[in-house]
Structure 1
Amino acid sequence: MVVRLRFAEKSDQESFITFTCTSPVPANRQVNGVWVKGEKLHPEPWALLVQKLIHNSPVYHDKDCWIRVGVDDQTGNLASYCAVVHKGDGVYEIAIIAVSRKLRGLGLGTQALRDAISTATHDAVHRNLDPVFVATIDENNRASAHLFASFGFQLIKTYDPDRHGFTFNLWARR
């Protein structure tokens, strides 16, 4: 299988809506006599949150933010998704990296992160800036933490839990 990375196009919007990067949401059910929404029972709540963000993301590309997608040459399906935002002064946030649930374990996350760093570095050089990279990762998402650490990112800060109970860590790389 060959996956080609490119900037997202308006025609990708439909693919965003159907993109899956996690297991299906469990059915609502009773737990200890109380009805619980399936989303609260999901084994990877951070992946479910990312998937929702992708489903609702517009296609954009301007000087300060872009989406790069990986497209499977054989099927034409979206294989990966990566959003990057230039926050200013050479700071680039890897906002989202996701790999299709069906294609996990093939190195597509590594390919997407490598491409994000390369694309942002090219942008920084064009702006005559030294790039700094940051990413915010759910503290329970060990796979993403491992991926970013393998690229030299270091854990900088742990935030207080948000209103949904998610705790995020800030990672950075110079």
Structure 2
Amino acid sequence: MPVRFRFADKSDQSRFTSFSCTDPVPANRQIDGRWVKGSQLHPEPWALLVQRLIHNSPIYHDKDCWIRVGVDDETGNLASYCAVAHKGNGVYEIAVIAVSRRLRGLGLGTQALRDAMAVATRDAVQRDLNPVFIATIDENNRASAHLFASFGYQLIRTYEKDRHGFVFNLWARR
């Protein structure tokens, strides 16, 4: 399946709201006599968080932040989404990376990360900087940890549990 990577533009806004990178949210239900929200029963809560971020993404592209999308040439649908932020001094954060749920397992995560890092590297060269890449990944997200490790990222820090119960790891690549 051919995918074309490009900067997001205004025409992508409606695609963001319909982009699905995880399984649907289970229905609310009673467990031991107590109602539990379906989102709390989801097998990949970090993926729900990412999906919510994508659904509410503003379209932006400036010198310090951008979104790269992979577009399926056959359907015109979003195949992948990757937000990158230049944090200063050549540090680039891969802030969000996701692949369409229906296209998982085809190597699009690898392609999207390669594309994002290539764009950031070109940006660093234009600024006469040496790029350093970082990413914050939920500690339970084994697929992302494996992807970033395959690109030479290393786990450098584990954060305390946040107010939503998430524990994130900081990964870096020089």
AA aligned to 1:86 is: H
**Residue in structure 2 matched with residue 64 of structure 1 by the alignment:** 64
Give the gaps of 5 or more residues in structure 2.
none
Residues in 2 aligned to 1:26 and 1:80: alpha-carbon distance in whole angstroms: 23
**How far has the Cα of 1:68 moved from its partner?**
0.3
Residues in 1 aligned to 2:130 and 2:74: alpha-carbon distance in whole angstroms: 38
**How far has the Cα of 1:32 moved from its partner?**
1.3
| Count of residue pairs brought into register by the alignment | 174
Note if 1:127 corresponds to 2:163.
Answer: no
Q: Equivalent residue of 1:62, what SS?
A: coil
Give the gaps of 5 or more residues in structure 1.
none
Residues in 1 aligned to 2:122 and 2:98: alpha-carbon distance in whole angstroms: 22
AA aligned to 2:27 is: A
| Alpha-carbon displacement from aligned partner over 1:15-64 (angstroms, at most 9, x marks no partner) | 00000000000000011111000000001000000000000000100000
Q: Equivalent residue of 2:119, what SS?
A: helix
Note if 1:155 corresponds to 2:155.
Answer: yes
AA aligned to 2:19 is: F
Q: Equivalent residue of 1:21, what SS?
A: coil
**Residue in structure 1 matched with residue 145 of structure 2 by the alignment:** 145
**Residue in structure 2 matched with residue 8 of structure 1 by the alignment:** 8
Residues in 1 aligned to 2:5 and 2:31: alpha-carbon distance in whole angstroms: 43
**Residue in structure 2 matched with residue 18 of structure 1 by the alignment:** 18
TM-score, with structure 1 as normaliser: 0.99
Map 1:33-48 onto structure 2 (within 5 A): 33-48=33-48
AA aligned to 1:50 is: V
AA aligned to 1:78 is: L
Indicate the percent of aligned positions where both proteins have the same amino acid.
80
What's the Cα RMSD here? 0.4
4+ residue runs over 2 A deviation: none
AA aligned to 1:88 is: G
Note if 1:90 corresponds to 2:90.
Answer: yes
